[in-house]
């Protein structure tokens, strides 16, 4: 059985605080570009290539029905497009338009730039250990 120490809880709390701080920063970077944080996330995910609705909803951790309206709004702004899936007539691919790709790059760069200022003070070795730790955490998912 797991014994939870005060240090464990402090670390977990620090991770939660950092999450909230990064969320704020993400929102602050998205807004000037005319995007909600959720829209920014969606566009950045699509930088990796087109995805179907079911797959995209899984990546974003939202219901497909919620995604439908999000995609509707972005499609109206010509930031994404629904394209037919040749091998399955029920399905579609969601892909970035030229404008969408450009905006996705902009928001990604803005977020990364903001975060880099937060990590600028860290030593090279701390940075390396941090990277390893984050990869370990992400691997649990």
Contact positions vs DNA (CB under 7 A): 36, 38-39, 52-55, 60-73, 82, 85, 88-92
What does 83 bind: DNA, its own copies, none (CB cut-off 5 to 8 Å by kind)? none
Q: Which of residues 85-114 bind its own copies (CB under 8 A)?
A: 111-113
Give the CA count within 13 Å in the CB-facing half-sphere of 15.
11
Residue with Cβ nearer DNA (70 or 103): 70
In whole angstroms, give the CA distance from residue 29 to residue 114.
8
For residues 91 and 131, which CB has a smaller minimum distance to DNA in the complex? 91
């Amino acid at each position: 059985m797991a014994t939870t120490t005060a240090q464990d809880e402090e670390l977990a709390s620090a991770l939660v605080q950092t999450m909230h701080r990064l969320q704020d920063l993400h929102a602050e970077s998205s807004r000037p570009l005319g995007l909600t944080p959720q829209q920014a996330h969606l566009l950045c995910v699509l930088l990796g290539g087109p995805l179907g609705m079911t797959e995209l909803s899984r990546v974003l951790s939202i219901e497909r029905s919620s995604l439908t309206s999000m995609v509707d709004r972005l499609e109206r702004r010509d930031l994404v497009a629904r394209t037919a899936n040749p091998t399955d007539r029920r399905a579609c691919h969601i892909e970035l338009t030229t404008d969408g790709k450009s905006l996705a790059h902009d928001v990604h760069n803005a977020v990364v730039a903001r975060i880099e200022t937060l990590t600028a003070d860290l030593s090279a070795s701390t940075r390396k250990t941090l990277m390893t730790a984050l990869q370990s955490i992400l691997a649990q998912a």
